[in-house]
Amino acid sequence: MTQTLSDARARRQALNLPYTHVNDFFIGGKWVPARGEERRDVTDPATNEVWGSVPSITTPELDDAVAAARSALPEWSALSGAQRAEYLLRIADEIEARADVLAATNTRENGSPISETRGAAANAAGIFRYFATLASWLDAEDVRPFPAGGAESLVEKDPIGVCGLIAPWNFPINLVVIKLAPALLAGSTVVIKPASPTPLSIRFIIEAVAAAGVPAGVVNLITGPGSSGDALVRHPDVNKIAFTGSTPVGRTIAAACGELLRPVTLELGGKSSAIVLPDADLDAMSSVLIRSCMRNTGQTCYISTRILAPASRYEEIVQMVGDTIVAAPQGDPLDETTVFGPVATRAQYDTVMGYLESAREEGARIVTGGGRASGFTDGEFIEPTVLADVTPEMTVAREEIFGPVITILRYDDSDGTADEAIALANNTEFGLGGLVFGADEDTALDVAKRVDSGSVGINFFGSNHAAPFGGRHDSGMGVEYGIEGLSAYLSYKSIHRKV
């Protein structure tokens, strides 16, 4: 970054963002002033400037938010899927109308490059529009004859009720919208709790919901620390929890929901592998490497940060990965050309630096990067790092780093198979994403089928709104996206009758 810190701050001042220091929650269709004293700061990780703050919800205010969602349920659930889909389509348009200010706010909250956050509104709108297409499935009469004859069952798809939606800070819009859109189509109502580093950008989604005319109480927004999320999870009048975040917090939530017999969807951490087959086209791999393996400065749950390279081409692959990472500019996340920004928080900075230290101690080879990025007067900037000679037992090979760090492991391909690579890929606690790079499509598909994970890409990774996305093992329970994702906000009921 050639600009000085004061330039960076002046540039941010000039953005004139509408939400900075706020003191209200969205409850029952209105912005309601907070009644408590406790607040939390919002810090720009590129400059370390505290530029915003939000109130923490109190217990009576949380009760109000859940009660608002409860009282909105009869009217909202009485609409047909087609009627609710009309609202979803209007919300999509209203979100797109707020794309620029949403992107700038999101970039200030978590340092995601503006090239990333600029797509957030369009992606959110796409999710609302996709779920609107499922109205016909939702509304279709579903009658199933008894196999033995003489009677039939009418299968009803009721909304599950009041849903608590809890999101992390890495994609604060997408990871709410992927819960909100199906919940609304299903006829359920929601209380949203964003992550503490990213509580402001989500307000543009709330604005869009209000502008689309969604009835009061259907969507409510609270802010507060993890304990507010815990209170929402355990609230006696909540019917379902949808959570995206870390595996340890996910376990706590699963335990609470187990005790309460409360349905829960958990999208948790990952440690996904990119298996490079000996016939892979490395130029093609280079062109998708950052998107698939380092998206959002390495802070994306499903990316394949663990590259499994065949021994026969190991050094060639290390060279290509190193060159690709070095060529990607790191800088002010507000710059259009920036690929790597800062990491999102000081806590994340410390975590990632700890992993780099462990890599050094455990004998990994640093190909590029490895420490604090020079050239930045302030902010949580870590050099994009490539680690080679990583062995399966090293900490950096096993745990989710969630920062700009790629590890490259070696597998033995002398037997002409990818068996060892597949075994390595499956030898983690997680099972979220994965990739196979290879020229022969049949072989690549065969390998992809043997990876024990919820999603695997062949020569690229993308998210398809129509296909289920979810983690296996420590990466979560249940899925989002697709009809399967919509089903998580429904409660099925079978009415049997004689024919």
The CB-of-25 to ligand NAP minimum distance in angstroms stands at 14
Q: Taking CA 48 as the corner, what is the angle to CA 47 and CA 50, rounded to the nearest 5 degrees?
A: 115
Q: Return the bridge partners of 164, or none.
A: 191, 241
Of 335-394, which residues contact ligand NAP (CB under 6 A)? none
Residue 195 as a binder of ligand NAP (CB under 6 A): the answer is yes
Is residue 471 within 8 Å of 267, Cβ to Cβ?
yes
Closer by beta carbon to ligand NAP, 195 or else 238: 195
Phi-psi label, residue 123: left if phi above 0, alpha if psi -120 to 50, beta otherwise: alpha
The CB-of-270 to ligand NAP minimum distance in angstroms stands at 6
Residue 167 as a binder of ligand NAP (CB under 6 A): the answer is yes
Residue 230 as a binder of ligand NAP (CB under 6 A): the answer is yes
Q: Is 380 a catalytic residue?
A: no
Q: Which of 163, 257, 293, 301 is catalytic?
A: 301
The CB-of-224 to ligand NAP minimum distance in angstroms stands at 7
Q: Residue 78 corresponds to which tokens in the numbers above?
A: 């009485």
Q: How far apart are CA 209 and CA 202, in angstroms?
A: 11
The structure tokens 């990583």 sit at 390
What's the start-to-end Cα distance of the chain, in Å? 74
Of 441-470, which residues contact ligand NAP (CB under 6 A)? none
Q: Return the bridge partners of 476, or none.
A: 267
Please count the residues of this chain forming the interface with ligand NAP, following the rule CB under 6 A.
30
Q: Is 357 a catalytic residue?
A: no
Q: How far apart are CA 117 and CA 280, in angstroms?
A: 31
Percent helix, percent strand, percent coil in the chain, to nearest 5: 40, 20, 40
Of all residues in this chain, which one has the CB nearest to ligand NAP in the complex? 229
The CB-of-226 to ligand NAP minimum distance in angstroms stands at 3
User: Exposure of 483 by Cβ count < 10 A (0-12 exposed, 13-18 middle, 19+ buried)?
Assistant: middle
Residues 325-336 as b or e (16 or more Cβ within 10 Å = b): beeeebbbbbbe
The CB-of-64 to ligand NAP minimum distance in angstroms stands at 19
Applying CB under 6 A, among 121, 233, 293, 309 the residue interacting with ligand NAP is 233
Is residue 464 within 8 Å of 481, Cβ to Cβ?
yes
Segment holding 387, helix H or strand E: strand 385-390
Binding mask 288-307 toward ligand NAP (x if CB under 6 A, else -) reads -------------x------
Applying CB under 6 A, among 28, 29, 225, 263 the residue interacting with ligand NAP is 225
Residue 252 as a binder of ligand NAP (CB under 6 A): the answer is yes
Residue 476 as a binder of ligand NAP (CB under 6 A): the answer is yes
Q: Is the dihedral of CA 342, 329, 291, 208 positive or negative?
A: positive
Q: Taking contact as CB under 6 A, which single stretch among the options 121-129, 181-189, 190-198, 387-395 is the one that binds ligand NAP? A: 190-198
Closer by beta carbon to ligand NAP, 85 or else 432: 432
Q: Which candidate, 338, 325, 333, places its Cα nearest to that of 293?
A: 325
Q: Which candidate, 326, 319, 292, 320, places its Cα nearest to that of 306?
A: 292
The CB-of-193 to ligand NAP minimum distance in angstroms stands at 6
Alpha carbon 195 to its chain's center: 12
Q: Which of 49, 109, 267, 380 is catalytic?
A: 267
Of 416-445, which residues contact ligand NAP (CB under 6 A)? 432
Residue 249 as a binder of ligand NAP (CB under 6 A): the answer is yes
Residue 405 as a binder of ligand NAP (CB under 6 A): the answer is no
Residue 168 as a binder of ligand NAP (CB under 6 A): the answer is yes
Q: List residues with catalytic annotation.
A: 267, 301
Chain residues that interact with ligand NAP, rule: CB under 6 A: 166-170, 175, 193, 195-196, 225-226, 229-230, 233, 244-246, 249, 252-253, 267-270, 301, 400, 402, 432, 471, 476
